[in-house]
Amino acid sequence: MEAYGFMELCPMQTRDPIVTPAPTDTASQSLPKSSARIATVSRKTKETDVSVSVNLDGQGRCVAETGVPFLDHMLDQIASHGLLDLEVQSVGDIHIDDHHTNEDVGITLGMALAKALGDRKGITRFGHFVAPLDESLVQVALDFSGRPHLSYGLQIPTQRVGTYDTQLVREFFVAVVNHSHMTLHIRQLDGINSHHIIEATFKAFARAMRMALEIDPRRADAIPSSKGVL
């Protein structure tokens, strides 16, 4: 931040032209020079065909077309509150149920996060957030540790939100964790409405991930581990 002093002009003195600096992208300036934290991963099985594109330094844009409306809504929460640009396209056997699509979207998203992170140099690594949504309150803490682990503490009172099976929330996070190599803890502190509990979870997850993915300006060129590798 520049400091400006006062300048007195002599009667014959003219003021220098005012030059306004061009806008700069401070977010991109804080990144390591060689980093473009963008990835696209496609994964095709006999059950699903999924493509995920992610920009970790995005603006919260989301295009999600999975055929599972509630999952699309939750992916939008991840992008919006995580400030990721996210595109998810999926064709799956949802005529059977949503399980395979839900899981395979989680797998492919986890793979895309891992690919975009590369060696994880410069990231803050740890993130945490507590998100309220009306009566619901959910706490998320995570670590891009390189070690997949999920501790899941939601107690969702109904089996479905709309047509979405609420058991699939856990399956989604299992898939993301295993393929992004993330440690993730989810705790429900309060809540009785299933929709509120799940949405608060995704918002808290997004915010915690946003914190963890930010570049640490004090060690932007170093891997955030005492071991030197994640």
228 against 55, higher pLDDT: 55
What is the reported pLDDT for 49?
98
Straight-line distance from the first to the last Cα atom of the chain, in angstroms, rounded to the nearest whole number: 35
Asked whether residue 60 is domain-assigned, the answer is: yes
What is the reported pLDDT for 21?
45
What is the reported pLDDT for 228?
84
Assess whether pLDDT exceeds 50 at residue 31: no
Helices 69-82 + 168-180 axis angle, to 10: 50
What is the reported pLDDT for 35?
59
Could you give the CA distance from residue 29 to residue 134 in angstroms, rounded to a whole number?
38
Could you give the CA distance from residue 67 to residue 65 in angstroms, rounded to a whole number?
6
Could you give the CA distance from residue 187 to residue 117 in angstroms, rounded to a whole number?
26
Mean pLDDT value across residues 93-119: 97
**What average pLDDT does the chain have?**
89
125: left (phi over 0), alpha (psi -120 to 50) or beta: left
Assess whether pLDDT exceeds 80 at residue 30: no
Asked whether residue 5 is domain-assigned, the answer is: no
What is the identity of the amino acid at 63? Answer: V
Dump pLDDT digits (tens) for 171-189: 999 999 999 999 999 999 9
Q: How does residue 117 score in pLDDT terms, banded at 50, 70 and 90? A: very high
Dump pLDDT digits (tens) for 201-223: 999 999 999 999 999 999 999 99
pTM as predicted: 0.85
Q: Which of 119, 85, 116, 144 lies closest to 220 in space, CA to CA?
A: 119
Asked whether residue 142 is domain-assigned, the answer is: yes
Asked whether residue 120 is domain-assigned, the answer is: yes
Asked whether residue 10 is domain-assigned, the answer is: no
Percent of the chain with pLDDT strictly greater than 70: 85
Dump pLDDT digits (tens) for 34-65: 458 999 999 999 999 999 999 999 999 999 99
Which CATH number is 96's domain given?
3.30.230.40
What's the domain count of the chain? 1
Asked whether residue 26 is domain-assigned, the answer is: no
Assess whether pLDDT exceeds 70 at residue 18: no
Asked whether residue 49 is domain-assigned, the answer is: yes
Could you give the CA distance from residue 209 to residue 58 in angstroms, rounded to a whole number?
13
Asked whether residue 171 is domain-assigned, the answer is: yes
Q: Which of 77, 76, 101 lies closest to 91 in space, CA to CA?
A: 101
Domain enclosing residue 151, as ranges: 36-213
What is the reported pLDDT for 47?
98
